[in-house]
Copies of this chain bind each other. A is one copy, B any other.
Amino acid sequence: MKTCVFALVMVFLLATAAYGASARISEDTEACIECHSSVHPGIVADWKKSRMAKITPAVALKNKELETRISVKKVSDELAGIVVGCAECHTMNPERHRDTFDHEGYQVHVVVTPKDCATCHPVEVSQYSKNLMSHAHGNLNKNPVYHNLMETINGIQSFEDIKTTYNKPDAETNADSCNYCHGTKVEVKGVMARDTDFGEMEFPVLTGWPNQGVGRINPDRSMGSCTSCHTRHHFSIEMARKPYTCSECHKGPDVPAYKVYQVSKHGNIFSSLGKEWEFDTVPWIVGKNFTSPTCAACHVSLLVSEEGEVVAKRTHQMNDRLSWRIFGLIYAHAHPKSPDTTIIKNKDGLPLPTELTGEPVVEYLIDENEQDKRRKTMERVCLSCHSHGWVNGHFTRFENTIKTSNEMTLTATKILLSAWEKGAAKGLAQNDSIFNEAIEKKWVEQWLFFANSTRYASAMAGADYGVFANGRWHMSKNIQEMVDWLEFKLKVIPKNKGGRK
């Protein structure tokens, strides 16, 4: 029995040593918790479970290179010895934050941003700035073509005299749909006084709030939201590594990565056996900590073998492992060089990475050498568990699917071009939206839903999704329906909207 007690004491001491005997909550954070543990008990309880609440930066810095979770080399003395609590994040860089307000003697801001997180995680924030996601707000909202797509989805339509009219969507609607994932623009639009349990207080009122979209434009002008994936206030690496996190934005028919994963062998292994895996170790050991990749394993995480060899470096850029952008807008193509895709112009002057007829706008896209390099980076992950023959077979098949799905998009585009040319619908030549009529919406589904889904199913080997669920069956059917429509329109009402000219 004595020995049992001894063992328990040892475990405690070791744990204390590992976590830093001096782990201390700052006075400022203590002050926050004093009130907020009763005002918002859930937040405080959640944070207490976090690693942030237990480990000081000083202790974190002692980890060996492969084991470290922070990328800064040195932390200020002020921060080094205290755990990262409310005050540390919400009073960081007050001068940069337009949402800073006086609160019980503190300069507090509402929206913690990548610039705040960069205090300890500068490499991740820097990498993320090269990730398309960090530019997701502008890439959608500032690209006239995509912005018009958004308007034709979110805008209220009215009906009179057998005709419809589109009205521009309001900001709340955009925030509730596309910008929920792409990120809103969060700005201070005023202050509001409110009675609280502690007397009247003033708080900033924000536009586009709440939001945790990946490309959020923050009040300190930074872009992105770390909490998209590292959900506050637990900031659990286990959660970021689980596919549910990615599914928040990547489950719909436009980017069905999660749905494909679920029916893939990898997803099956995760669902069936993943409950035994270790999701919070750094580095993440292939085969030992987990036996099938999640999204993070292939796209983000630092992976090593049991022997300690690095299989893949950690990346928050993510596309440095991706040779293709299979999310075709409107065709799949080599990855763009810049995360800011609003700079792209094709021959027609449209801000699209390909011509309407599919040819890539090469000057804005990575070249074949870079594609090879990225493919090889990804293949190293595959080779942890698969032979070269398997991996080669997979990529050959996948690239064939990029080609054939692009061809099926081209066929749909030719039907639409024909409809425009023959006056059955109004398009570019008429300076009309290319997304507002029924036939145009069918065309959008060809690439945005069906061709994309087919490629995701191929890339991640979840074929069940790529045939009848949302893939090849629908590409094939959609073309026949588009042709049927065109034939009806042309033969039946030649003098209505157009007819042959």
Contact = CB atoms under 8 A, between A and B. Distances in A.
Interface string A254-289: 100000001111011101110100000000001110
Interface string A415-458: 10010000000000000000011100100000011000000011
A43 B177 contact: no
Interface in A472-497: 472-473, 476-477, 479-481, 483-488, 490-493, 496
Given A234-B273, A493-B491, A448 B468 contact: yes
Contacts of A152: 476
A163 interface: yes
A320 B407 CA distance: 44
Interface stretch (A123-131, A237-245, A322-330): A237-245
Nearest to A151: B476
B159 A483 contact: yes
A385 B481 CA distance: 48
Interface string A44-64: 111001000000000000000
A210 to B, nearest CB: 5
Contacts of A487: 162, 493, 496
A245 B273 contact: no
A146 interface: no
A38 B305 contact: yes
Interface in A290-348: 291, 305-307, 309
B468 A157 contact: no
23 contacts: A38-B307, A39-B383, A40-B386, A41-B305, A42-B291, A42-B385, A153-B467, A153-B473, A153-B476, A154-B476, A159-B411, A159-B414, A159-B479, A177-B472, A203-B387, A205-B389, A249-B263, A251-B262, A252-B468, A438-B481, A441-B480, A484-B485, A488-B492
A40 B385 contact: yes
A119 interface: no
B194 A388 contact: yes
Contact of A239 (B163, B164, B181, B268): B268
Nearest to A479: B157
Interface string A169-189: 110110111101100000000
